[in-house]
């Protein structure tokens, strides 16, 4: 299965300037970027993982912070992965150019951690459910999932926050985001709990959150 808008959100055209853009934290959807990536990497590094899957690797900013025996990075942009390859140097890694959902069509060897930052908001709500289910199936029983992305707590929060942005003269940004699918906690996290995960949330800016999921102890 291929995600509906995977080709639309291929960032080949922006690869050469991506790293500069993500540091423009005065833009609301960039605020908290560096702190969020560092925190996600810290959650993984504390577990001394053997195998880590990074979904939406991009230019390798997160993978470059992760300490693991092996890192598998997946992204649909060849030009972004070329930059990631330079950053990762002599590390033990594998970079795969494919759609996020298509990657799981051939079940991979289980991972100790699955991470993704600023990627899953390109998936529809239905595709998010599919991705979480396939991540669950690809994760060791004692493994962890960590998603860092653009999120709202509820649909009411989405409406309130976007209305505030419009009053601040950011209507173009709000309109652009209507083509994407920022996470909504009430809607998108239920599947994790149904699969038996404890879910922890941490907020880094108005829009930037992390979701950490690990299986409940029985």
Q: Residue 196 is part of a domain; what is its CATH number?
A: 3.40.50.150
The answer to whether residue 160 is domain-embedded is: no
The answer to whether residue 132 is domain-embedded is: yes
Cβ-Cβ contacts under 8 Å for 129 (sequence gap 6 or more): 188, 191
- What is the model's pTM? 0.94
The per-residue pLDDT of the chain, averaged, comes to 94
What's the number of domains the chain is made of? Answer: 1
The answer to whether residue 142 is domain-embedded is: yes
Instruction: Using pLDDT thresholds of 50, 70 and 90, give the confidence band for residue 179.
Output: confident
Q: Which helix (H) or strand (E) holds 212?
A: strand 208-215
**Each residue's pLDDT tens digit, 122-155:** 999 999 999 999 999 999 999 999 999 999 999 9
Q: Are 74 and 98 in contact (CB under 8 A)?
A: yes
Q: Domain residues for 196?
A: 12-154+180-215
């Amino acid at each position: 299965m291929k995600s509906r808008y995977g080709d639309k959100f291929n960032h080949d055209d922006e690869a050469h300037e991506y790293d500069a853009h993500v540091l423009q934290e005065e833009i609301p959807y960039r605020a908290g970027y560096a702190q969020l990536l560092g925190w996600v990497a810290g959650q993984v590094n504390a577990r001394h993982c053997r195998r880590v899957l990074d979904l939406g690797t991009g230019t390798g900013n997160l993978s470059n912070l992760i300490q693991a025996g092996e890192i598998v990075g997946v992204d649909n942009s060849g030009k972004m992965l070329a930059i990631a390859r330079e950053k990762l140097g002599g590390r033990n890694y594998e970079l795969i150019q494919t759609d996020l959902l298509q990657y799981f069509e051939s079940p991979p060897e289980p991972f100790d951690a699955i991470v993704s930052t600023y990627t899953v908001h390109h998936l529809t709500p239905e595709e998010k459910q599919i991705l979480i289910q396939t991540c669950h199936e690809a994760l060791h029983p004692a493994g962890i999932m960590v998603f860092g992305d653009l999120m709202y707590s509820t649909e009411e929060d989405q409406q309130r926050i976007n209305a505030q942005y419009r009053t601040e003269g950011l209507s173009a940004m709000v309109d652009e985001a209507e083509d994407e699918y920022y996470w909504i906690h009430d809607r998108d996290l239920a599947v994790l709990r149904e699969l038996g995960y404890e879910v922890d949330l941490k907020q880094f800016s108005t829009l930037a959150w992390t979701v950490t999921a690990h299986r409940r102890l029985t």
